[in-house]
Amino acid sequence: MMYLACILVIGLCASMVLRSLPHFEHRMSECVFFATFGLIFGLAPMMQSDEAYVHVFGEGARAAAAGYSLAGLLMLMAGFALADWPLKRLATRKRRLLEELARPETQRMLMLVFWVSIGITVAGHALVMHAKGVTLLDIIRGGRFEYRFNNRGFLSVLGLHLTTFCFVPPFVGLFLGKRHRIVTLLYIPAACMVYFFIFSKGTRSVPLAMVATFLVAASIRYRFPVRRIVATCAIGLFVMMMAVGLYELRRVQDTVTFTEGVGVLFSAAAYQDMWDRDPLSYSMHLVGAVAAFPAEHPFLNGATYRRMAVFYLQESRFPELKPPDTNILFGLVVHGRDEDLEVTVPPSILGDVYINFWGWWGLPALCLHGMLYRWMFRTMQTTLFGLLWLGPLSGRFLVLVHRGEPYEMFFLYSMFFLLMGSVFVVCRSLAGSRRRSLVRKRVPARWRPTGIAANAVT
């Protein structure tokens, strides 16, 4: 039963990918979403060993999880279909957006956004270090989790969200001129190294998300003939392998040299038991949810989504209004380890719906997820603010969506909406004022009108 469900998941995901490939420049995000879903919830469960999780789950739980994966996939596909646009309409709106991006005033605004985002990222890290009372040297010398969870103060949380602007240059840079594209290509590897080895200390999601964000921007900016599709798929496969290999590297990154680290990353040992490791082991989180809820813990009655409505409240001060962190609770129920009070364990995209909405009864919620994802993928290709708000976070979304952290993603997108909205308004105003000043400078004095006409020009 488990193998049949997994094979059907792989087949359905493959059909969605093949259906989207001829229109890859419009459907790249959809291709990545369904390709990784099939890999994680279709192929991985058939390849994993019994020791893939903290506890060994029975075949009944594995089979039930596989069946739930199949049903959940059908709901996601229905949601994508319900929120879909005709391809011709999508292509027309996207062409209009690209024409708007090519205008001189929009280019000036994007250049401001590009450099302002780098400045905001640096300021965000400085604010975080100030709020935590640490220096850059402390972070470099410290352990992986030594300073990570000390984000209780307002300034540290604000600084953390300001650092989200690090994803803007890899995305916006492709829509600018040649010099900015060169800067973008230099920025991505440098930022990936800084985050992996210094600021995030082995967290893979940030550097992998930067590469994914760059690829999403390329799919919007350029046409994709067959050779570019093949190249993008090869890069995507490389990113997936790096997600596995970096897991092994981060275990020894503080004790090896750079050359030795490269050797670890490209060694065969780094990819042994790859199906049992994050991110390919997310399907086992669903197995844990099916096995433990409601047998060991009652369903959460939408706690994850109730947290969204009161995200601005402090959990310790309003415990009756704001439910506890779903990821911490899930780790405690399924693992039963004290360290899970600090390290969150997401239940996967399917597991989160399962434990929040009463098991199989919650499947319609996945249809709503599919509609939301389709709207996000479409909006960042058809509107200017949608491009700047959703586009820079698209890589992070594609890297993390299957983990099952809807509350964290909601908070991330909400804060970035406010922050990017402010940057968008300011940069657009500055770009417009500069354009007006340039127009005034170009008008010869003898042609300069007076009176009412002068007011109309200025």
pLDDT for position 108 = 95
Q: Does 343 score more than 60 pLDDT?
A: yes
Confidence class for position 157, pLDDT limits 50, 70, 90: confident
Q: With contact defined as beta carbons under 8 Å apart, do 77 and 20 qualify?
A: no
Q: Residue range 210-223: average pLDDT?
A: 93
Query: Is residue 451 left, alpha or beta, with left meaning phi > 0 and alpha meaning psi from -120 to 50?
Result: left
User: Which of 83-92, 186-195, 276-285, 350-359 bottoms out in mean pLDDT, i.e. has the lowest?
Assistant: 276-285
Residue 271 CA to residue 119 CA, distance in Å, equals 38
pLDDT digits (tens, 9 = 90+) for 13-35: 999 999 998 899 999 999 999 99
Between 215 and 203, whose confidence is greater? 215
- Rounded distance between C-alpha atoms, residue 84 and residue 78, angstroms: 10
Mean confidence (pLDDT) of the chain: 86
pLDDT at 55: 60
| pLDDT of res. 213 | 95
Task: Quote the pTM value.
Answer: 0.88
Q: What is the mean pLDDT of residues 348-363?
A: 94
Task: Provide the pLDDT for residue 444.
Answer: 44
Crossing angle (nearest 10°) for helices 384-400 and 205-221? 140
Q: What DSSP designation does 27 have?
A: H
Q: Alpha helix (H) ranges present in 335-362?
A: 349-356
Q: Which of 43-52, 169-178, 202-211 has the lowest mean pLDDT?
A: 43-52
**327-336, 438-447, 448-457: which range is least confident on average?**
448-457
Cα–Cα separations (whole angstroms), residue 385 to 116, 210, 414: 16, 20, 14
Q: Does the pLDDT value for residue 149 go beyond 70?
A: no
Asked whether the predicted pLDDT for residue 386 surpasses 80, the reply is: yes
Reference 380, options 77, 23, 28, 17; nearest CA is 28
Q: Cα separation of 70 and 203, whole Å?
A: 30
Query: What are 255-265's pLDDT values in tens digits?
Result: 777 777 778 77
Which one of 155-164, 302-311, 387-396 scores highest in mean pLDDT?
387-396
- Distance CA(341)–CA(220), nearest Å, equals 41
253 and 200 Cβ atoms separated by less than 8 Å: no
Residue 129 confidence (pLDDT) above 60: yes
457 pLDDT more than 50: no
Radius of gyration of the chain (CA): 24
pLDDT tens track for 399-433: 889 988 899 899 999 999 999 999 999 999 998 86
Q: What is the pLDDT of residue 49?
A: 75
Q: Are 431 and 437 in contact (CB under 8 A)?
A: no
- 446 vs 273, residue with greater confidence: 273
CB 335 within 8 A of CB 327: no
The answer to whether the beta carbons of residues 116 and 427 sit under 8 Å apart is yes
